Amino acid sequence: MKPLFRKILAFLGVLLLSGIFFELGLWQLHRAQATQKISHAQPEQPVINLENVAAAGHNLRDASFNRLVTFRGHYIKFYTAPGQIPDGSTKPESYAVGLMELSGHRAILVVRGAENGKISRLADVVMVSGRLYPHENEDYALPSQGVLSRLDPALVAGDTSDNLFDGYVIAREEVDQSRGVQLPGDRIPSPQLIGTVGGFYWQHIAYIITWWFMAALVWFAPFYNRAVRRKSQGEESVE
C-alpha cells in the first residue's frame, strides 16, 4: 500500500501544482482581455444618476469611468484649473471648476467650461449632465488660492466638511432648476477616456505563456524522471 499511497500523493501534488499554474495563466488572460478592452472606445451607455455608479467617500470603480451621469445641487466653491489641454487641442486652457454640494452633505468637482467669463457663479440649484472621469494624478500648474494644479478632489478636501466623490465630472449641460433654463458657457469636450495599454497587453501574454508552460512542465517532469530511471537501470543491467 505504501508505494500506491506515494503514487496517489505524487499525482495529487502534480494535479494541484499544475492547476495553480493554469489558473495563474487564466488570470493573466483575463487581464490581457481587460487591458485590450479599455484601449478602445466602448458603446455609449444611457445617462444614469451619479449615485448609481459612484459613492461619496469611496474610490471610483473602473466600471464607473466614462459614464454619462446626472445629478443636482448647488455650487459652494469656485476654482480655476489652468494648464489643462482639451481633447483634440494642443493649446493649454484654463477650466472653470465648481465644487457642487449634493444632498446629504456630499460634494463633487465639476468642470463647468472654459474660464473666459461666460460662466456665472450662481448658488441656485443646478441640474448637471456630464461625463464622469477618474481624478488626475499629474499637476498642470502651481497650486495657489483658488487654483487647482490638477482635477483631484483631494486638493479641495480642506475647503469643505462634505464627503467628497472621487473623480470629477465634465459638464455637458447645466440647467438652473429655479428658472428651467440652460446656463450659458463654452463647454469642454468630454470624450471617453481611452487607456493606452500596448506594452502591458504583451506583458500579460508573456505571463500566460510562462505559467502554462510551467503547468505543462509539471505534468511532463514525472514521465521524464521515470524514463531517466529506466534508462539508468537498463544500463546497469547491461553492465
User: 95-143 pLDDT, tens per residue?
Assistant: 999 999 999 999 999 999 999 888 887 768 999 999 999 999 999 998 8
Q: Structure pTM?
A: 0.67
Q: What is the pLDDT of residue 87?
A: 75
Q: Domain boundaries in the chain? A: 2-37+197-238, 48-182
* Overall fold of domain 48-182: OB fold (Dihydrolipoamide Acetyltransferase, E2P) (2.40.50)
Is the pLDDT higher at 196 or at 165?
165
Is the pLDDT higher at 197 or at 80?
80
Residue 12 has pLDDT above 60, yes or no: yes
Residue 5 has pLDDT above 90, yes or no: no
Separation between Cα atoms, residue 204 and residue 30, nearest integer Å: 9
Q: What is the pLDDT of residue 33?
A: 73
What does the mean pLDDT of the chain come to?
Answer: 84
Q: What percent of the chain has pLDDT over 90?
A: 42
